[in-house]
Structure 1
Amino acid sequence: MRSYPLNSPQAAARIVALAMLADGNLSKAELDALAESGAEAQLGLRAGEWHDVVDAFCEDLMSNTHQTLGGACKIDPRALTALMAEVEDDDLRRKVLDLCVSVVDADAEIVEEEMIVLCAAAKHWAARSEIACAA
């Protein structure tokens, strides 16, 4: 998995992309929620840069994960920890977690793989949130 500079817009956007792609289904509701939130601007990406980050991330996922029968992505726990470690700024962490919750919630169905991403962020960042994660 490629790495990005610490607290970079790309590192933050990749975590949001993982939350969106975790269930193996990129829904219109998730894309609409992303657009409505102004995620690109919130994360400091240039206009259109979101697609570059997602494309690069999908390449990384294809070579570093395995998919379940339902198409959901199972990312290695060490890789997940490494992704979370690239975002250290508390304000950026809150933005990323809020955006992740927003896109995951958008299709009104939160599956296990999405919860894994949300809980990893909350746990790694010691975030106080409404996310109910197992200990």
Structure 2
Amino acid sequence: MKKYAQNSPEAAARLLVMLMVSDGNMDPRELDEIEHLHIYEALNISRKQFIQVLHDYCNDLSDEADESGQIHLIDRQRIDDLLDTVVDPKLRLLVATLALDLCKADEDISDAEMAIYAHMLDRWHLTLDDIEATFAR
């Protein structure tokens, strides 16, 4: 896996990318939602940089393919390693909020997305109530 600085915009973006591809389907509505939610601005990353993070993540997954060419989109150790690249509590809360909105973009939260999202909240000691209390408008 490509290394990004801890709490960097790229590290945060990669977590969103991980969730977006976790079900094996990149829905165009998720990409539209990135624009709609102003995720680039929220993470302080350009569109081009975000797309590069997406490209790099897909390449990293491809590099991890087993001998038969199978790619494991959900790997607990990889997920934990990526989650550990964001340690700032405010950034964690922001990423968790954006991730939830992105998961809902295609109107179907897959089992894979749900499992990873629940694990994210658990690992970061966050709850949906924390998100609501911080970002409810």
TM-score under structure 1 length normalisation: 0.85
- Tell me, yes or no, if structure 1 residue 115 matches structure 2 residue 114: yes
- Tell me, yes or no, if structure 1 residue 22 matches structure 2 residue 54: no
CA distance in 1, matches of 2:93, 2:47: 22
- Tell me, yes or no, if structure 1 residue 34 matches structure 2 residue 34: yes
The answer to whether the Cα contact below 8 Å between 1:39 and 1:99 also exists between their aligned partners in 2 is yes
Ranges in structure 2 where 5+ consecutive residues have no aligned partner: 130-137
| % identical aligned pairs | 29
Instruction: After superposition, give the CA deviation of every residue in 1:57-84 in whole Å (9 maximum; x if it has no partner).
Output: 1111112257xxxx99532211110000
When Rg is computed on C-alpha atoms for both structures, the one with the higher figure is: 2
- Tell me, yes or no, if structure 1 residue 2 matches structure 2 residue 29: no
The answer to whether the Cα contact below 8 Å between 2:24 and 2:73 also exists between their aligned partners in 1 is no
CA distance in 2, matches of 1:129, 1:116: 14
- Tell me, yes or no, if structure 1 residue 46 matches structure 2 residue 46: yes
After superposition, the CA RMSD in angstroms is: 1.9
Higher percent of residues as strand: 1
- SS of the equivalent of 1:86 reads coil
- SS of the equivalent of 1:74 reads coil
Instruction: After superposition, give the CA deviation of every residue in 1:2-42 in whole Å (9 maximum; x if it has no partner).
Output: 22111000100000001111111111211111111111111
CA distance in 2, matches of 1:122, 1:65: 27
